[in-house]
Structure 1
Amino acid sequence: MITTGSEPFTLDKLNPTKYLFFTGKGGVGKTSIACAVAVNLADRGKKVLLISTDPASNLQDVFDTALDGKGVSIEGVPGLVAANLDPVEAARHYRESVVAPYRGKLPESVIANMEEQLSGSCTVEIAAFDQFSKFITDREIGARYDHIIFDTAPTGHTLRMLQLPSAWSNFISESTHGASCLGQLAGLEAKKGIYKDTVLNLADGAKTTLVLVSRPEELPLIEVGRTSLELRDLGINNQILIINGVLSTASDTVSQSILAKQRRALDEMSLQLRDFRTFTVPLRSYNIIGLDRIRAFFQDDAYRSSQPKNQLPALRPLADLVDDLHRTSKRVIFTMGKGGVGKTAVAAAVALALAEKGVKVHLTSTDPADNLRHVIAKTENITLSRIDEQRELLNYQTEVLTKARETMCEADIAYVEEDLRSPCTQEIAVFRAFAEIVDRAENEVVIIDTAPTGHTLLLLDSTQSYHREVQRTKGEVPVSVRRLLPRLRDEKQTEIIIVTLPEATPVFEAQRLREDLCRAGITNRWWVINQSLSLTDTLDPMLVARAEAEKPWIDRVKEISSENFVVIPWLQDSSIQNIGKYADMVE
């Protein structure tokens, strides 16, 4: 047993309910587990509908079958139908349905404002919820299938939005409290009953099981713990936990180090996650593509490679990226990417390398642990700061709610409070501190390990909502805010480094991030592929096979970046200092 009370996953132990929702951080294996459960149930004679609502879904690749939003029978698996809902496309249609009645009647600037309010991740979630709610509430569909399985569940934030009474009022059109990501709720009155039934079904343990999926790593476990709490606060306690990718044995120093990290992360898992029934799925040596591998996923790993690791063509080291930044005299540098890909460590390694070239660098982080200060506090040519996201968010929430309470009823206040929990709001909240730090580029190179997304920047730019907020609370718009977006859009001044892992989901998510930035007029040139097993000297058969599976994703980044990418190996010590040494070491 890798954790107290955990047990190896089998379908018999799951005791599947009518509805199964799989949720967790991107890249943890939700799709693999959902597909394997669906195929195994169908193989037992059950009628199964498998639905993906993931914008980066690879369900078609898994089954090697073209899918649509209505459902396609999977050849070789009698009884299984798979549907690939496209929430991005659904969001586009939904956005147009809301905006279309106002075209030609309102100024173009107002239309642009409406469109951007309906372009964020929250709108995509609502569009996905709108699509799959019919699969839960439609009696005819329910009678047709024994099990309906959803790959990706709605977040607690989405569910809370739909439960708020003020969400069905004219609050959005009348609100002046600032940039909102909840504009997508306008016009949903007709579906209020359907959504209510959907949420009730989610909380019904006799009908539904919420399957939390994580890897045995610190950040995915923290994320899934946060998701679990949000759902429990809504009365959705019918949850179980599956920990995917558990390494059971180690045969060399690399595998031993991975095993030790996994055990440490699991030992430190939050108490509330330990309350759930917990299953483990071993690390597999292969990508879960094709029926043979799907069916083998819960069995022994028969695909492990016994061949020597293929040699990759020469890959560029981090030093090449640093040299380019130095040569082009970039003033503002971001490392961007999803949590857990190592962007903070890469930002610090770049700062160290530039400082060694004599460049004056200001490095800032949003890391709550403030680890940077302990690692490089005394390094010459580097100054440090930290944006405290929680403090900035609390300050922003207090300001907005204080103003709102002067004129709004309690129902509308509840709506504003939920708005202020959204991802977009947190980005807006740190915007002031962020703008002030970027403004230091007048005198030194500024390196930041996070940034507002393209959606947030466009929202602020098109509506000037942030400017209104500043004017209301402070009476003026700081110079740093006025010149921030033009600076970020100037590729001669700013470099966006996208950090990813050599795996499907992190690469898909990084590509979406890049597209988001492009919408805001912000270019990206350099990519970093972090934690590559391909560049290690591991001889462990499992890890050698995993290294072979990295190649298509390295090739994908090579194509997207027009070969402007560098690769960092999986390091036994992945500290900032060790990545910095790697940058100096590799030719």
Structure 2
Amino acid sequence: MNLLTLDTRYLFFTGKGGVGKTSLSCATGLSLAQRGRKVLIVSTDPASNLSEVLGTPVGHAPTPIVGAPNLFALDLDPRAAAAAYRERMVAPYRGILPEAAIQSMEEQFSGACTVEIAAFDEFARLLGDPSATAGFDHVIFDTAPTGHTLRLLTLPSAWDEFIASTTGGASCLGPLAGLQQQRERYAATVARLGNPAETTLVLVSRPERAALREAERTRVELAELGIRNLHLVINGLFADETGDDAIARAMAERHAAALAAIPPGLAALPQSTLPFLPRGTTGLAGLQQLLSGTPPAPQGPVALPEVTDLPPGLSAFIDELARQDHGVVLTMGKGGVGKTSVAAAIALALAERGKKVTLSTTDPAAHLADALAGETAGLTVTRIDPAAELARYTSEVLEQKGKDLTPEARAMLEEDLRSPCTEEIAVFRAFAHTVAGGTSGFVVLDTAPTGHTILLLDATEAYHREVLRTQGDLPEAVRELLPRLRDPDFTHVCIVTLPESTPVSEAEALEADLERAGIHPFGWVINQSLLASGTRHPCLAERAAYELPFIRRVQQHTRGRCVLIPWFAREPVGRDGLWQLVDAGEKSRYCAAA
């Protein structure tokens, strides 16, 4: 099966962050539109970049794409959906109920639970209600990075089960009041996701071990949900035919080794392979290049620019951080930019300098243990595991609040804790406790991809209310979380990006969101730079030249408060592999003209 001939009415594109889901979903939509089909592309990613990829500002209603007849797109913004949902539930009672009652209703709809339910409500409307997309031949969902997507895809079953079992007293009953009337739509959503005649789910991966491992995990979990009509896309495969450039040879060997070790379950799926493209795939022209399936041939040797003032290496940030003996370091950014490797390298370097360090993650798709590949003195590796945190939180609440309750009251409390929102509360509390560890040593946190992280931070006050309601008091770690995150002497946010258009634009938006929350970034990390790698391979050199304007843009934006990490021939795994990221220094300044 060829990617461009997928013709079920509903198409989902999912995979590890940074694998090219948005570009591929948009390219597929463009291809279908060029064949005369009317197509709607929907982003369910809180960090959507549909507007940049399609070259047209995309709103929350179907937006026609300039230059592409029959192609439309919309962004499903969870926060906007929550605001609209809240108003839809409360508005009929304004002027009828007392103001105090209205305020109480608004309070019920103000939590993170409402954000999740409202996003699901919009998603289910588009997928489960045929009339919502009746004017389109195809609906393509550009989903959020994998961990968040799996959460979204399990919601139809989770909420349906919760509604069926709820008899009263649950915290979600306010938000769920609007959902009970929609149960037939939700049942249709569940059925449509698993119907191969209607829905195809496209697993997108880079030819890299971590991305393929994540795709296999996704495949297994989707099968457990009854979703088995899958198509695998390997995006960005690089093959070096000359073999005389160390960087090109390493990239080709790394890609080939990853594909040779592809998990059997993935290998059995229908597949498409797309080549490495030296330039970005934004705008319709870039998408057309992706559709062609062949990279443009370089027009003769590529002369790299003479560059003598690139940003310094990561050691510049390590030196500054190491002046303290405690604090929190957060690596944040678009999925796939290398946050895990950067976080692991920072933690390793601090531990090597004799600091007490805990390295942890809030990213459900992260693989910190794989990045480190061994033990280091002074360094403890942990993970915020949603299932474990949910069990711990549930047990604690039942112990604290349930021990003296009547059987009926305890049953209501247990019912309350079965809400899908409880897991989010438990994970948030674990995040707060992890940050609190920065008072007695360094905590380096590899965070989930941008949109999900921002939703987490935006929800702080709402979570305070939820925890107060279920536990009666706020743990100190939760109470102190926002002040700690806002203290630049305690929290150091490293925004990680790649020297490309979309990651830099999203990093700028992330910084703006953080500033609005009163959190001031410590600095930027530009990762995996081919310009700083020393490559002279024609295709990779063309990509290297493409990077320079984005590096300059970051330098100017941050007023020099940034560092640059090269793309290394040796994969950044294990102590020696990660140490390259710290120790590159001036040795990586290879950017003289060829």
1:165 aligns with 2:157: no
Tell me the residue number matched to 1:254.
247
2:318 matched residue in structure 1: 322
Instruction: From the superposition, tell whether residues 162 and 512 of structure 1 become closer, same or farther in structure 2 (CA, over 3 Å).
Output: farther
Q: Deviations over 1:105-153 (max 9, x none)?
A: 2697995674242575x3574265156337x6118x53x4443333338
User: CA distance change for structure 1 residues 87 and 470 in 2, over 3 Å: closer, same or farther?
Assistant: closer
In structure 2, list runs of 5 or more residues that go unmatched: 590-594
- Once the two structures are TM-superposed, the CA of residue 303 in structure 1 deviates from its matched residue by 5.8
The letter for the 2-side match of 1:579 is L
User: 1:440: how far off?
Assistant: 1.0
Pick aligned residue for 1:487 from 461, 479, 484:
484
CA 530–125 in structure 1, closer or farther in 2 if over 3 Å, else same: farther
Residue 437, structure 1, aligned to residue 427, structure 2: no
Q: Is the 8 A contact 1:242 1:278 kept in 2?
A: yes
> 3-state DSSP class of the match of 2:249?
helix
Asked whether the equivalents of residues 137 and 194 of structure 1 are also in contact (C-alpha less than 8 Å), the reply is no
Who is 2:138 aligned against? Answer: 147
Query: Do the aligned partners of residues 109 and 320 (structure 1) sit closer, same or farther apart at CA in structure 2, a change above 3 Å counting?
Result: farther
Q: TM-score, normalised by structure 1?
A: 0.79
- Residue 64 of structure 1 is matched in structure 2 by 55
CA deviations over 1:443-477 (Å, ceiling 9, x no partner): xx4444459945445645555368659968xxx97
Q: Do the aligned residues in 2 keep the contact of 1:527 with 1:565 (CA within 8 Å)?
A: yes
Instruction: State the shift of 1:538 in Å.
Output: 0.8
What whole-Å deviation, never above 9, does each CA across 1:158-178 have from its counterpart, x for those lacking one? 3432333355489699336xx
Q: Letter of the aligned partner of 1:314 in structure 2?
A: L
Range that drifts further, 280-289 or 329-338: 329-338
Give the structure 1 partner of residue 592 of structure 2.
none
TM-fit CA distance, 1:517: 4.4
Among residues 330, 351, 372, which one is paired with 1:334 in the alignment?
330
- Report how far residue 212 of structure 1 moved: 1.6
Structure 1 residue matching 2:568: 3-state secondary structure: coil
Separation in structure 2 between the aligned mates of residue 508 and residue 545 of structure 1, nearest angstrom: 21
Cα gap change, 1:72/1:337 in structure 2, threshold over 3 Å: closer, same or farther? closer
Q: Which moved more, 1:327-336 or 1:188-197?
A: 327-336
CA contact (8 A) 1:318 1:568 kept: yes
The 10-residue stretch of structure 1 (491-500 or 98-107) with the greater mean CA deviation from structure 2: 98-107
Residue type matched to 1:548 in 2? A
Take 1:492 and 1:131, find their aligned partners in 2: how far apart are those partners?
A: 45
RMSD (Å), alpha carbons: 4.2
Change (3 A) 1:43 1:335: closer
Q: Which of 11, 19, 39 in structure 2 is aligned with 1:20? A: 11
Report SS of the residue matched to 1:528.
strand
| 1:280 counterpart residue number | 273
1:55-94 superposed matches below 5 A:
55-74=46-65, 76-78=67-69, 80-88=70-78, 89-94=80-85
In structure 1, distance between residues paired with 2:305 and 2:532: 10
| Equivalent position of 1:527 in the other structure | 524
Provide the residue aligned with 1:296 in structure 2.
289
Q: Is the 8 A contact 1:113 1:459 kept in 2?
A: no
Q: Which residue of 2 aligns with 1:428?
A: 429
What displacement does 1:529 show? 1.4
- Report which stretch shifted further, 275-284 or 320-329: 320-329
- Could you say which residue in structure 2 is the equivalent of 1:30? 21
CA contact 1:455–1:520 (8 Å) conserved in 2: no
**C-alpha spacing 1:76/1:200, structure 2 compared with 1 (3 Å):** same
* 1:4 match: none
Q: How does 1:153-192 map to 2 (within 5 A)?
A: 155-163=149-157, 164-165=159-160, 167-168=162-163, 174-175=169-170, 185-192=176-183
**How many residues were matched structurally?**
556
Checking the alignment, whether the CA contact within 8 Å between 1:202 and 1:208 is kept in structure 2 is yes
**Conserved in 1, the CA contact under 8 Å of 2:64 and 2:73?**
no
Q: Is 1:132 aligned to 2:126, yes or no?
A: yes
Query: SS of 1:298's equivalent?
Result: helix
What is the aligned counterpart of 1:193 among 162, 184, 205?
184
Deviation for aligned residue 1:324 = 3.4
Q: Point out where structure 1 has 5 or more consecutive residues left out of the alignment.
A: 1-6
Which amino acid in the other structure matches residue 264 of structure 1? A
Secondary structure at 1:155 match in 2: helix
Q: Does the 8 A contact of 1:534 with 1:550 survive in 2?
A: yes
Corresponding letter in the other structure for 1:387: T
> 1:50, 1:150 within 8 Å by CA — same for their partners in 2?
yes
Contact persistence 1:502–1:553 (CA under 8 A): yes
CA distance in 2, matches of 1:185, 1:563: 49
Q: 1:393-408 to 2 correspondence within 5 Å?
A: 393=389, 395-396=391-392, 399=395, 407=409
Contact 1:27 1:505 in 2 (8 A): no
For residue 245 of structure 1, report the CA deviation from its aligned partner: 0.9
**Hey, what does 1:3 align to over in structure 2?**
none
Query: Which residue in 2 is equivalent to 1:48?
Result: 39
Deviates more, 1:44-53 or 1:508-517: 508-517
Alpha-carbon shift at residue 552 of structure 1 (Å): 4.8
Q: 2:279 & 2:440 partners in 1: Cα distance?
A: 47
Cα pair 1:335 1:497 within 8 Å, conserved: yes
Given residue 297 of structure 1, which amino acid in structure 2 is its aligned partner? Answer: L
| Structure 1 pair 113–417 and aligned structure 2 pair: CA distance change class (3 A) | closer
Give SS of 1:297's match: helix
Moved more, 479-488 or 520-529: 479-488
Q: Residue 126 of structure 1 contacts residue 158 of structure 1 at CA under 8 Å; is this kept in 2?
A: yes
Give TM-score scaled by structure 2 length: 0.78
Distance 1:377 1:183, change over 3 A: farther
Residue 305 of structure 2 is matched in structure 1 by 310
CA distance in 1, matches of 2:258, 2:136: 38
Tell me the residue number matched to 1:541. Answer: 538
